């Protein structure tokens, strides 16, 4: 099926990351009573489009009928989640919750369900990532999914700020939602 086929096209580096995210998803699912198979699939499939070159991302998004904004125009890599989500949906693989999780795994978004929150977290805290607070965020997300999700958003914003990059509007909306909890 599409997931194995596309996974096979990724570099070992990316495949390793996807498998680790899928493992973290399993673990978060167990802890927070999410459907374990959905969680695993979302993890495995989230980066299926991550290695498409930028011009191909725009072309593929157009082919799939996806709408995008100025942020995606400037950084087409932002389209890799929405594209992978559409691939699964078009193939009838997964559920709306999985597609939404994959779609928003890069930016987070307001109103994300627990599976979507878990995927955003798992992508950021899988053990292949190297930054100081990773293990702390991993543990926090296992104790309290929403607290972990909001802390990973904060961590991402700090990282973007250090790099002088502007955060995506969806991430700012998600942050506002965190602050209104
Ligand atoms: Fe990604
Ligand atoms: Fe990823």
Tokens of 145: 């999914």
- 21 alpha carbon – ligand 1 mean position (Å): 10
- 18 alpha carbon – ligand 2 mean position (Å): 6
Tens digits of per-residue pLDDT, 86-138? Answer: 999 999 999 999 999 999 999 999 999 999 999 999 999 999 999 999 999 99
Distance of CA 34 to the CA centre of its chain: 16
- 30 alpha carbon – ligand 2 mean position (Å): 20
Structural domain boundaries, residue 172: 2-179
Total domains in the chain come to 1
Q: Identify the pLDDT of residue 143.
A: 98
Q: Identify the pLDDT of residue 1.
A: 81
- 115 alpha carbon – ligand 2 mean position (Å): 15
- 159 alpha carbon – ligand 2 mean position (Å): 16
Q: Which of the ligands is closest to the CA of residue 25? A: 2
- 46 alpha carbon – ligand 1 mean position (Å): 6
Tokens of 158: 């700090």
Here the CATH number for the domain that contains residue 69 is 1.10.3210.10
Q: Which of the ligands is closest to the CA of residue 43? A: 2
Closest by CA to 13, choosing from 122, 126, 92, is 126
pLDDT, the chain, mean: 97
Tens digits of per-residue pLDDT, 55-75? Answer: 999 999 999 999 999 999 999
CA distance 21 to 124: 9
Using pLDDT thresholds of 50, 70 and 90, give the confidence band for residue 181.
Answer: confident
Tens digits of per-residue pLDDT, 21-53? Answer: 999 999 999 999 999 999 999 999 999 999 999
Q: Identify the pLDDT of residue 124.
A: 98
Whole-model pTM: value is 0.97
Q: Which of the ligands is closest to the CA of residue 107? A: 1
Distance of CA 52 to the CA centre of its chain: 16
């Amino acid at each position: 099926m599409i997931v194995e086929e596309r996974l096979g096209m990724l570099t070992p580096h990316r495949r390793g990351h996807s498998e680790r995210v899928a493992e973290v998803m399993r673990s978060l699912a167990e802890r927070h009573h999410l459907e374990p198979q959905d969680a695993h699939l979302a993890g495995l499939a989230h980066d299926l489009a991550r290695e498409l070159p930028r011009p191909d991302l725009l072309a593929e998004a157009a082919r799939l009928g996806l709408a995008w904004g100025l942020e995606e125009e400037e950084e087409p890599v932002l389209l890799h989640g929405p594209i992978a989500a559409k691939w699964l949906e078009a193939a009838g693989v997964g559920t709306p919750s999985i597609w939404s999780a994959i779609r928003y795994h890069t930016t987070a978004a307001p109103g994300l369900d627990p599976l979507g929150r878990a995927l955003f977290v798992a992508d950021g805290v899988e053990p292949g990532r190297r930054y100081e607070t990773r293990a702390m965020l991993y543990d926090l997300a296992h104790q309290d999914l929403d607290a972990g999700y909001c802390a990973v958003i904060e961590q991402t914003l700090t990282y973007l700020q250090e790099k002088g990059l502007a955060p995506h509007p969806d991430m700012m909306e998600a942050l506002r939602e965190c602050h209104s909890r």
